[in-house]
A and B are shown apart, each in its own frame.
Chain A
Amino acid sequence: MQCIRPVCGRAASPWKRKGRILDAYLIGVLTNVGLFSFLALSGYLLLIAGELSFGQQAFFGIGAYAAGAATAMYGAPLWLAIILAMALGAAAAFLIGLPTLRLRGLYFAMATLAAAEMIRILFELLHFQRVVDGELVGPDGTQGFRGIRWIFEAGFGPQDYLCLVWALLAVVLLALLKIERSRLGVTLRMVGEDPGLSSQLGIDVVRFRLGVAAAAGSLAALGGALFAHHNTYVEPRNFDIMLGVHGLAYALIGGLGTAFGPLLGVLLDIGLLESSRVLSGYRMIVFGGLVALLLVFRPRGLLNEALVHRLTGGKR
Chain B
Amino acid sequence: MLADLLQNTLDGLAQGATYALLALGFTLIFGVLRRANLSYGAAIMFGAYCATWASLRFQSGLLVLALVTIAGAVLAGAYVERLCFAPHNARGLRPGNAAIASMVASFALWMQFEEIVTLWMPQHLYAFPALYEGAALDIGTLTLGGPLTLRVESLITLACATAICAALWLILYRTRFGLAVRAVIDEPGAAGLSGINVSWVLIRVFALASAIGGLAGYLVVATHGQVTPMLGMWSTLKGMLAMMIGGLGSLPGAIVGGLVLGLVEAHTQWFLGPQSRDLVSYLLLFVLLAVHPAGLWPRSKPVET
- Contact code string A280-297 (vs B, CB < 8 Å = 1, else 0): 011111011101110110
Please state if B293 and A283 are interface contacts (CB–CB under 8 Å): no
CB distance from B95 to the nearest CB of A (A): 9
Within 8 Å by CB of A47, from B91, B100, B248, lies: B100
CB distance from A96 to the nearest CB of B (A): 9
- Tell me, yes or no, whether A1 is within 8 Å of chain B by CB: yes
Within 8 Å by CB of B108, from A52, A107, A288, A299, lies: A288
Within 8 Å by CB of A1, from B105, B111, B240, lies: B111
Q: Can you name 18 A-B residue pairings with CB atoms under 8 Å? A: A1-B111, A100-B290, A105-B305, A106-B244, A106-B305, A107-B244, A110-B241, A110-B289, A114-B282, A114-B285, A121-B282, A248-B104, A249-B107, A281-B115, A281-B119, A287-B108, A288-B111, A295-B104
CB distance from A220 to the nearest CB of B (A): 18
**Listed stretches B62-70, B82-90, B194-202; interface member:** B82-90
Number of A-B contacts (CB under 8 A): 134
Chain B residues 108-131 with CB under 8 Å of chain A are 108-112, 114-116, 119
Please state if B96 and A291 are interface contacts (CB–CB under 8 Å): no
CB distance from A56 to the nearest CB of B (A): 14
**Complex Cα distance A16/B11, Å?**
59
Within 8 Å by CB of A241, from B88, B102, B237, B286, lies: B237
Please state if B282 and A241 are interface contacts (CB–CB under 8 Å): no
- Tell me, yes or no, whether A103 is within 8 Å of chain B by CB: yes
CB distance from A141 to the nearest CB of B (A): 9
CB distance from A193 to the nearest CB of B (A): 8
- Tell me, yes or no, whether A125 is within 8 Å of chain B by CB: yes
Contacts of A121 in B (CB 8 A): 275, 278-279, 282
Q: Decide if the interface of chain B is mainly helix, strand, loop or mixed.
A: helix
- Tell me, yes or no, whether B93 is within 8 Å of chain A by CB: yes
Within 8 Å by CB of A124, from B83, B93, B275, lies: B275
- Tell me, yes or no, whether A252 is within 8 Å of chain B by CB: yes
Interface centre among B108, B112, B119, by most chain A C-beta atoms within 10 angstroms, is: B108
Q: Decide if the interface of chain A is mainly helix, strand, loop or mixed.
A: helix
Please state if A299 and B98 are interface contacts (CB–CB under 8 Å): yes
Contacts of B109 in A (CB 8 A): 288-289, 292
Within 8 Å by CB of A245, from B97, B107, B283, B286, lies: B107
**Complex Cα distance A289/B114, Å?**
13
Name B residues whose Cβ lies closer than 8 Å to a Cβ of A. Answer: 30, 36, 38, 83-84, 87-88, 91, 93, 96-112, 114-116, 119, 233, 237, 240-241, 244, 248, 275, 278-279, 282-283, 285-286, 289-291, 293, 304-305
Q: Told that A103-B293, A125-B279 touch, could you supply 18 new A-B pairs with CB distance under 8 A?
A: A1-B111, A100-B289, A105-B99, A107-B293, A107-B305, A111-B290, A121-B278, A245-B38, A252-B101, A283-B115, A284-B114, A288-B110, A292-B108, A295-B105, A296-B83, A299-B88, A299-B97, A300-B97
**Complex Cα distance A179/B159, Å?**
58
Interface centre among B100, B116, B240, B275, by most chain A C-beta atoms within 10 angstroms, is: B100
Please state if A241 and B233 are interface contacts (CB–CB under 8 Å): yes
Q: Which residue of A lies closest to B113 (CB)?
A: A288
- Contact code string A103-137 (vs B, CB < 8 Å = 1, else 0): 11111011101110110011011000000000000
**Complex Cα distance A52/B102, Å?**
13
Interface centre among A47, A114, A242, A245, by most chain B C-beta atoms within 10 angstroms, is: A114
CB distance from B130 to the nearest CB of A (A): 29
Contacts of B283 in A (CB 8 A): 114, 118
**Complex Cα distance A100/B93, Å?**
26
Q: Provided the pairs A288-B112, A296-B83 are in contact, do residues A249 and B286 lie with their beta carbons within 8 angstroms? A: no
**Complex Cα distance A1/B91, Å?**
32
Q: Which residue of B lies closest to A51 (CB)?
A: B96
Please state if B111 and A284 are interface contacts (CB–CB under 8 Å): yes
Contacts of A107 in B (CB 8 A): 244, 248, 289, 293, 305
Q: Which residue of B lies closest to A289 (CB)?
A: B112
Q: Which residue of A lies closest to B83 (CB)?
A: A292
- Tell me, yes or no, whether A50 is within 8 Å of chain B by CB: yes
Contacts of A241 in B (CB 8 A): 233, 237
Q: Provided the pairs A111-B290, A295-B104 are in contact, do residues A287 and B111 lie with their beta carbons within 8 angstroms? A: yes
**Complex Cα distance A197/B188, Å?**
25
